[in-house]
Each structure stands twice: as structure tokens, then as C-alpha cells.
Amino acid sequence: MDEQRKPISRSDFPADFAWGTATASYQIEGAFNEDGRGLSIWDTFSHTPGKTRDGDTGDVADDHYHRYKEDIALMRELGFNSYRFSIAWPRILPEGRGKVNSKGLDFYERLVDTLLANGIEPYATLYHWDLPQALQDKGGWKERFTPQAFEEYADAVSRRLGDRVKGWITLNEPAVSAFVGHVEGRHAPGEHSFQAGIRATHHLLLAHGLAMPVLRSNNRRKDAEFGITLSTTFAEPGDDSQQAYEAAVMVDNFNNRIFMDPLFKGRYPSAISNLIDQYLPVQGGDLEKIAAPLDFIGINYYFRTLALAVEDQQALKYKTRKVKGAQYTEMDWEVEPEGFYNLLKMVNTDYKPAKILITENGAAFPDRLEEGQGQPAVHDPDRTNYLKGHFEAALKALKEGAPIRGYFVWSFLDNFEWAQGYSKRFGIVYVDYPTQRRIVKDSGRWYQTFLRG
């Protein structure tokens, strides 16, 4: 980036900026069968042989359900003023809808109160992929009753926590739920149907649209804000061919615009209408609900995509070009912060959001715990460099007018990386799974120093 010479500093960002990290319920909580929690599609999926690496499950994960107090004490030590977590729907409504499990609400109430007592603002995501299995058994996101159930769930949670939560995020990365879960089948519920993916897309967006007014009306905090988090990529053609150009347009449409267009413009992108319209279960009034004003858009960003066409080019089918000499993370994602800047500029220009929160950004690298005579340590300069580069990219976009007001590093702790199990570590805090010890990585110390200004 242009300003690389001057080290980036917290004071370069607005004073009221939200700084913290993000996590998700199934990835860290464990306690999968405690206090009345029902099962989710991820319990089913991870317990199905062959679905996750080494058969890993979230049964115990980081045991955060029992260790949340010490985890929050560590967040305070690291200097966060905000923390993004997700609420497990099956803890609140074990059957998806109907009877509310007050013990589930009690847990999140304790979590939120402990955050506030430590000077950390709670940002709660309602859906980070752990759909109650009972709803999946009736068709899950393919069916319209799931957004209706989500509305009830949003009501139950916000009635209890509407006086304390600062940021409400309806959904995390609906593109991943819809396409990785229903078309590619690498995630729960593990389906392989394009039609199912498109039905899920619309029902996820509808769930957001139905929940927003409920969250707003149950809110009792003057400064609360409401939005949704999307996974994004900056798509570029992998070579000079027309086919690569078309592949990039498709990647952009299926990752970014299929969600952003309905949310900001009240319509699905015309560039892919020939592929999706026949499957979209839109009913009268849906798009108006989906397009109700957002206080912020949450952007999750990890990598750009250099798209190349495949022979029988069709929706969601493309190849990516790897760049010689470029650095790749443990997920095989290119480290290229300029793409982040480009994406933020694109979002700001094309959609003019009131506010942007970076709700996830971070990297997995092969960390090694070093335990000599002294303190245990994890030296992860690649992660620190990744973060610095992406902070700089965000700052550049901010200075050029993108209304970025928060940054949540993914992730606080190493955790269950979905189909990859525990093999990929994204935390700025290392988790020694056999003992559940937390060891702050060098990147976590770098973030702490950055936050101290």
C-alpha cells in the first residue's frame, strides 16, 4: 500500500471505532448437550463419518461455554472495546420454534453482562450456521417456515437482551450457508442441488428481512445498530480472455451481488437472472422487507479471486489462478490486501452503505507452540503481517470515504474450522486443545500493542 512506510496506528482510525475479534457459537462453545441445547445441523454433519477432517466435531471445541469468564478477562487484557459472538439457535429453541429454553438465554445473558462489566460492547450474530436439526428435518432453509421460525427466534433473544446488545447481526455469510451447504455440500446440511441453494438464498434473505423490524422494536438501547454480515471476495479475471472476464463477473455476482443487490436495491442481480429466477421462491412484499434500511453492512473478507473459466462454464463453477511468488495461507488463500481495498471501494461506490463494519478478517497459518524453559509462545509473523496489510488496506479505503467504523479480527481463539476440523488455526490466541490452555500468539500481542496506541 502507498502508506506502508509509516506504521499504522490506532489513532489513524476514528475515535469511536469498534475494535475486537469475532467468533461463532459452534466453533468455540462446546457443551453441545448441556442445559437443554437441541441439536443443530452441524452436530449431525460433524458426526457423519467422512464429513469433517479426522472426524472432528464441535462437541467440546474451546469449551468456551464453561470458560467464557476467563476468555473475556483475556479480551480485556488485549484491549478490545467490542466483541462479536454468535448465539446458538438450538440453545434458545431446541426444536427450532415453540418452547423457549430459558437456560440457553441465561448463558448469553451471563456472557453479555460479563462483556459489559469488562467494558466490551457485545455484537451478537443470530445465525452463524447452526440451524436446529428439527427445522432441517422439515426442509430447513429450502422452506419458507424457516425464515418464519427465525423471526420468532429473533424475538425471543432480543426480548431478553435488547437492553444490552450494542450490535445485532442477523446472519453470518448467507452465501456460505446457501452455496457451500446446499450446492457444494462441503458444509451442513451437505446437499448438492443448485435449486436448493437458490431457494436457501432467498429464504435466508427473507429471514433477515423478517427479523430486522422485530429486533428494532425489542431494542431498548439508544445506540444499538442493526445489520447483516456477508462473505465477500474481490473477483478479477485470471487472464485476458473473455471467458475469464465472464467467470469473474459470475464470481462477483454469486458471492457479493446476489445478497447486496436485494439488500440495497430490492432486486436480484439481472446479470444472473437467467440462472436464478426460475428457482427464486419470491412472494409479494419479500423484497421490500429484505431491502429495509441497514444501519451497517458487515463485511467478511479473506482473499481476492482470480477467476478462470472451466469448460462447461455454469453458475458457481470456475477455477482460480494461483500467482507465482505470492504468499498463500494455510487455507490456500492468497495474501493480497489490495483486493480488500478494492472490495471496500466497490461496496461503497455501488451500494453506499450508511456504515461498514469489518466483521471478519484474518488468516490461518501453521502455528507451533514453543514450550522451552520460559513462557510458552507462538511466533506467527505471517499472521501479524496479514493483519497489518489488511488494516492498511481498510484505512486507505476509509480515507477515501468508505464509512468503516469497526474491525473484528477472525478469530479470537483457534477453533473448529468447519469441514477442516481443528487442523486450521485462525486465532490470535492459541488453544492447546488437550488442556484447553490459551496462549496469546505474537499476533495477539501485536494487536494489543496496536490497541494501546
| Closer residue to ligand IFM, CB minimum distance, 173 or 336 | 173
Q: Which among 430, 448, 432, 449 is positioned nearest to 380, based on CA atoms?
A: 430
Query: Exactly one of 13, 318, 386, 410 binds ligand IFM (CB under 6 A); which one?
Result: 410
Cβ at position 175, least distance to ligand IFM in Å: 10
Q: Residue 65 carries which DSSP code?
A: H
- Per-residue DSSP letters for 261-297? HHHHHSS--GGGHHHHGGG----TTHHHHHTSPPSEE
Q: Identify the three-state secondary structure at position 56.
A: coil
Cβ at position 305, least distance to ligand IFM in Å: 15
Q: Is 56 in the site for ligand IFM (CB under 6 A)?
A: no
Q: Identify the three-state secondary structure at position 114.
A: helix
Whole-angstrom distance, CA of residue 302 vs CA of residue 363: 7
Asked if residue 122 lies in contact with residue 71, where contact means CB atoms within 8 angstroms, the answer is no
Binding string to ligand IFM for residues 350 to 379, with x set by CB under 6 A, is what?
----------x-------------------
Binding to ligand IFM, residues 24-43 (CB under 6 A): 24, 27
| Closer residue to ligand IFM, CB minimum distance, 224 or 358 | 358
| Closer residue to ligand IFM, CB minimum distance, 190 or 266 | 190
Q: Is 173 in the site for ligand IFM (CB under 6 A)?
A: yes
CA dihedral 105, 106, 108, 113 (to 10 degrees): 140
Cβ at position 359, least distance to ligand IFM in Å: 9
| Closer residue to ligand IFM, CB minimum distance, 31 or 171 | 171
CA end-to-end span of the chain: 21
Q: Which of 151, 225, 334, 360 is catalytic?
A: 360
The residues facing 360 across adjacent strands are: 300
Q: Which of 121, 151, 152, 173 is catalytic?
A: 173
Cβ at position 302, least distance to ligand IFM in Å: 6
Cβ at position 219, least distance to ligand IFM in Å: 26
| Closer residue to ligand IFM, CB minimum distance, 158 or 172 | 172
Asked if residue 159 lies in contact with residue 211, where contact means CB atoms within 8 angstroms, the answer is no
Q: Identify the three-state secondary structure at position 413.
A: strand
Whole-angstrom distance, CA of residue 215 vs CA of residue 204: 16
Whole-angstrom distance, CA of residue 355 vs CA of residue 349: 13
Q: Which among 276, 344, 318, 233 is positioned nearest to 1, based on CA atoms?
A: 344
CB neighbours of 277 closer than 8 A, spacing ≥ 6? 268
Query: Is residue 360 flagged as an active site residue?
Result: yes
| Closer residue to ligand IFM, CB minimum distance, 426 or 446 | 426
Cβ at position 417, least distance to ligand IFM in Å: 5
Q: Is 417 in the site for ligand IFM (CB under 6 A)?
A: yes
Query: Is residue 173 flagged as an active site residue?
Result: yes
Size of the site for ligand IFM (CB under 6 A): 8
Write out the catalytic residue numbers. 173, 360
In the complex, which residues of this chain contact ligand IFM (CB under 6 A)?
24, 27, 173, 300, 360, 410, 417, 426
